Amino acid sequence: MRPIIEIEHLSKRYGSGTPALNDVSLSIDEGEILALLGPNGAGKTTLISIVCGLVVPSGGTVRVGGHDIRKDWRAARKLIGLVPQEVALEPFEPVIDCVRFTRGLYGEPPDDAYIEQLLRSLALWDKRDAKTRELSGGMKRRVLIAKALSHRPKVLFLDEPTAGVDVTLRREMWQVVRELRAQGVTIILTTHYLEEAEDMADRIGVINRGEILLVKPKDELMGEFGKKHLTISLHQPLAALPPELAGRGLVLSPDGRELGYDYDSRAERTGIAHLLAEMAGLGLSVRDVSTKQSSLEEIFISLVEEETA
């Protein structure tokens, strides 16, 4: 895959002198979904705003589809669609006019067949003549997506697209994103819902205090940073942990029926085989064994806390 966005040594300082971005370099491949995670004020929105042309960078370069966003800004911006964090729509304008307006703004000729297809795919066709103020919050978000896609961009930025959206609608939005990805649209997503990133992203970037801490394929990240938790269910409850098993980091559940054990999935020796053999030697009968991978949320928190420390 060739990169569609190339960011090199990007920095941004606001008037107060506070660095919002510090020497950020990042390459995003065509057709991938990149989730950008970070706490509030980490620099996610600043990064997106610079690439889209909303904020002027203090230094560094950004190319979109090979076009420099400052020297060749018209060609670069034509490739980009943006769904902003805040729902911002003209309240008295009908939905279809809103979408047509954005398409015209991008210099595209009218194409009512495409607009119809777009609105149908976002379940907005029945609401095409409704004024945007009459729509529910979820529908308004979908109108924003329709506007961002009205000129058929190759890159779509979704800045916290499901913030404040209920669970059902969030899942609908994820479906929309998956369909876009299937059409070859590159998607850059910022989110606070780590479940969202875990579910959809190909790669995950973590940003904090204006610096990219890491960018890795999601599976690699989960494997590299992911700890696993082993739960051993026992046939007979234990009153206390046998002294022979002490010092292994085992935790006995209050009812004495389960033993918990954290281990590093990357380690050559996890100690599980030795543990099970030792338990068998002690006459402890095992009823069931299950493992659980750390969630992205836990990985994210540990990364940010490590960097902050």
Partner 1 sequence: MNWRSVRAVFGHEMARFFRTVWQSLASPVLSTVLYFVVFGAAIGGRIQAVEGVAYGAFIVPGLMMLTVLQQSVANASFGIYFPKFSGTIYEILVAPTGWVEVMLGYVGAAAAKAIMIALVILATSFWFTGIHIAHPFWMLAFLLLTALAFSLLGFIIGLWAKNFEQLQIVPMMVITPLVFLGGAFYSASMLPPFWEAVAKLNPVLYLISGFRWSFFGFADVPVGLSLAAVGLMILVCLAVIRWIFLTGWRLRE
Residues that bind partner 1 (CB under 8 A): 15, 52-56, 73-78, 80, 82, 84, 86, 88-93, 97, 100-109, 147
> Least Å distance between CB 118 and partner 1?
16
Report, in Å, the least distance between residue 109 CB and partner 1.
Answer: 7
Which tokens in the block code for residue 309?
């420390």
When the beta carbons of 139 and 259 are compared against partner 1, the nearer one is 139
| Count of alpha carbons within 13 angstroms of residue 307, beta-carbon side | 17
Taking the least distance from each CB to partner 1, the nearer of 52 and 303 is 52
Q: Closest distance between partner 1 and the C-beta of residue 162, in Å? A: 18
Strand (E) or helix (H) holding 81 = strand 80-83
CA distance 75 to 73: 6
Rounded CA separation 138/146 (Å): 12
Q: Which is nearer to partner 1, 92 or 129 (CB)?
A: 92
- Residue number with CB closer to partner 1 (76 or 115): 76
Query: Which residue lies nearer to partner 1 by CB, 69 or 177?
Result: 69
**Residues 3, 29 contacting (CB under 8 angstroms):** yes
Which tokens belong to 251?
């935790």
- Rounded to a whole number of angstroms, the minimum distance from the CB of residue 108 to partner 1 is 7
Give whole-number Cα distances, 48 to 22, 97, 223, 308, in Å.
14, 26, 28, 23
For residue 132, the minimal CB distance to partner 1 (Å) is 10
- Judge whether 87 and 144 are in contact, CB under 8 Å: yes
